[in-house]
Amino acid sequence: MPKVRVAGFGVSADGFGAGPDQSLENPLGRGGGDVFRWFFPTRTFRAMQGAPGGTEGVDDEFARAAMDGFGAFILGRNMFGPIRGEWPDDAWKGWWGDTPPYHAPTFILTHHPRAPIVMQGGTTFHFVTEGAEAALAEAKAAAGDRDVKIGGGVATVRQYLRAGAVDEMHLALSPVMLGRGEALFAGLDLPALGYRVTRTVPTETATHLVLTR
């Protein structure tokens, strides 16, 4: 049965999934890239950039699983880009260039309508103004018998967790401290929501936790 999953989601040791002050220069906020030190060296990430080589092993296995098996993705507006409010024009098409890494229908939560954007490699960005529940219904319909990934950012993941909509979540807990930023766990009672840690795998760069509901 298809699942709704969070996968490959980096979190600092003090619970932040992104740093403060997101900008064009700092897509994950100041210091936020540090929570992905486990991911960037992997063969999977380097292949996404069109580069050879990269590390193998446990980190790469989790990296690969974080992108495989999904028939649709859901992203928050901030995950798509730094622009706030009304779309000034159609120039911004995401952080990822002409060929985003999703290769599937990708639904963007926003309050401001915009026409779909067809990108190279099979990604089409759809902009959903009717809320998280509507986006999930559209994503499930598009995914068919494949899983739906809640790709972030932090506010979007928290919204779906609070709704009990996430079946499985893979967190990569990185040994870094951000001090400030977007707190993933603040105000969330994960056990009360039905989540339990079902797998723990430590590496030199992260502790991989799998939570299931």
pLDDT digits (tens, 9 = 90+) for 145-183: 999 999 999 999 999 999 999 999 999 999 999 999 999
Q: Is 21 a domain residue?
A: no
* pLDDT reported for residue 73: 98
Per the prediction, the chain carries an average pLDDT of 95
Q: Is 91 a domain residue?
A: no
Asked if the model's pLDDT at residue 22 lies above 90, the reply is no
| HEC-encoded secondary structure of the chain | CCCEEEEEEEEECCCEEECCCCCCCCCCCCCHHHHHCCCCCEHHHHHHCCCCCCECCHHHHHHHHCCCCEEEEEECHHHHCCCCCCCCCCCCCCCCCCCCCCCCEEEEECCCCCCCEECHHHCEEEEECCCHHHHHHHHHHHHCCCEEEEEECHHHHHHHHHCCCCCEEEEEEECCCCCCCEECCCCCCCCCCCCEEEEEEECCCCEEEEEEC
Q: Is 86 a domain residue?
A: no
pLDDT digits (tens, 9 = 90+) for 102-135: 999 999 999 999 999 999 999 999 999 999 999 9
Q: Is 65 a domain residue?
A: yes
pLDDT digits (tens, 9 = 90+) for 79-107: 999 988 999 999 999 999 999 999 999 99
Expressed as residue numbers, the domain containing 127 is: 4-12+30-81+112-212
* pLDDT reported for residue 211: 98
* pLDDT reported for residue 55: 94
Asked if the model's pLDDT at residue 50 lies above 90, the reply is no
- Percentage of the chain beyond pLDDT 70 is 100
Asked if the model's pLDDT at residue 27 lies above 90, the reply is no
Q: Is 25 a domain residue?
A: no
Going by DSSP bridges, is the β-strand pair 105-109/124-128 parallel, antiparallel, or unpaired? parallel
CB 12 within 8 A of CB 149: no
Confidence of residue 26 (pLDDT cuts 50, 70, 90): confident
**Domain tally for the chain?**
1
pLDDT digits (tens, 9 = 90+) for 145-155: 999 999 999 99
Domain containing 57 — which CATH number?
A: 3.40.430.10
Query: From CA 4, how far away is CA 18, in angstroms rounded?
Result: 22
* pLDDT reported for residue 168: 98
